[in-house]
Amino acid sequence: MASLTRDDVAHLAGLARIELSDAELDRMVGELGVILDSVAKVQQAPIEGVSPMSHPMPLTNVTRPDVVRPGLTPEAALSGAPESAQQRFLVPRILDED
Amino acid sequence: MTDDLTRTTAAQLADGLADGTISSVEVTSAYLERIAAVDGAVHGYLHIDGEGALATARRIDERRAVGDRLHALAGVPIAVKDVMVTQGVPTTCGSRMLEGWIPPYDATVVSKLRAAGMPILGKTNMDEFAMGSSTEHSAYGPSRNPWDLERIPGGSGGGSSSVLASFQAPLATGTDTGGSIRQPAAVTATIGVKPTYGGVSRYGIVALASSLDQAGPCGRTVLDAALLHAVMGGHDPLDSTSIDAPMPPVVDAARAGDVRGLRIGIVKELAGEGYQPGIQARFDESVALLVELGAEVAEVSCPNFEYALAAYYLIMPSEASSNLARFDAMRYGLRVVPERVADPSAEQVMAATRDAGFGPEAKRRIILGTYALSSGYYDAYYGSAQKVRSLIARDFAAAFEQVDVLVSPTAPTTAFRLGDKLDDPMAMYRNDIATIPANLAGVPAMSLPSGLADEDGLPAGIQILAPAMRDERLYTVGAALERALIDTWGAPILSRAPELAKGA
Q: Does B209 touch chain A (CB under 8 A)?
A: no
> Cβ–Cβ of B329/A62 closer than 8 Å?
no
> Cβ–Cβ of A52/B441 closer than 8 Å?
no
Question: What b-and-e string marks burial along B374-402, b requiring 16 or more CB atoms within 10 Å of the CB?
Answer: eeeeeeebbbbbbbbbbbbbbbbeebbee
Q: Within the 22-41 window of chain A, which residues sit less than 8 Å (CB to CB) from chain B? A: 24, 27-28, 31-32, 34-36, 38-41
pTM above 0.90, yes or no: yes
A2: pLDDT confidence band, cut at 50, 70 and 90?
A: low
Q: Does A10 touch chain B (CB under 8 A)?
A: no
Query: Could you read off the pLDDT of B442-461 as tens digits, one per residue?
Result: 999 999 999 999 999 999 99
Structural domain contains residue A14? yes
Q: Does B367 touch chain A (CB under 8 A)?
A: yes
Distance from CA of A87 to the nearest CA of B (A): 12
Give the helix ranges, DSSP H, for B10-150: 10-18, 24-42, 50-65, 108-115
Quote the ipTM score: 0.95
Mark the ranges of chain B whose per-residue pLDDT is less than 70. Answer: 1-3, 504
Q: Does B371 touch chain A (CB under 8 A)?
A: yes
Structural domain contains residue A31? yes
Domain encompassing residue A30: 6-41
pLDDT at B80: 98
Write the DSSP symbol of residue B89: B
| Cα A98 from Cα B182, distance rounded (Å) | 54
Half-sphere exposure of residue B58: CA atoms within 13 angstroms, side-chain side: 6
Give chain A's domain count. 1
Structural domain contains residue A21? yes
Q: Is A93 helix (H, G, I), strand (E, B) or coil?
A: strand
Structural domain contains residue A87? no
| Cα B134 from Cα B155, distance rounded (Å) | 4
Structural domain contains residue A33? yes
Instruction: State the amino acid at position B447 in one-letter form.
Output: S
Query: Could you read off the pLDDT of A32-85 as tens digits, one per residue?
Result: 999 999 999 999 999 999 999 998 887 778 888 999 988 999 999 999 999 999
Q: Does B363 touch chain A (CB under 8 A)?
A: yes
| Cα A71 from Cα A73, distance rounded (Å) | 7
- Chain B's closest residue to A37, CA to CA, is B310
Name every residue whose Cβ is closer than 8 Å to that of residue B303 and which is 6 or more positions away in sequence: B269, B395
State the count of interchain CB pairs (< 8 A) between A and B: 186
E strands within B354-485?
405-409, 445-452, 459-465
CATH classification of the domain holding A37: 1.10.20
CA B77 from chain center: how many Å? Answer: 17
β-partners of residue B406 are: B265, B465
Structural domain contains residue A53? no
| Cα B185 from Cα B182, distance rounded (Å) | 5
Name every residue whose Cβ is closer than 8 Å to that of residue B130 and which is 6 or more positions away in sequence: B83, B93, B94, B156, B157, B175, B177, B180, B208, B213
CA dihedral of B265, B268, B274, B275, whole degrees rounded to 10: 30
Domains along the sequence of chain B with CATH: 80-305+389-493 (3.90.1300.10), 322-381 (no CATH)
A97: pLDDT confidence band, cut at 50, 70 and 90?
A: low
Distance from CA of B311 to the nearest CA of A (A): 6
| Cα B401 from Cα B424, distance rounded (Å) | 39
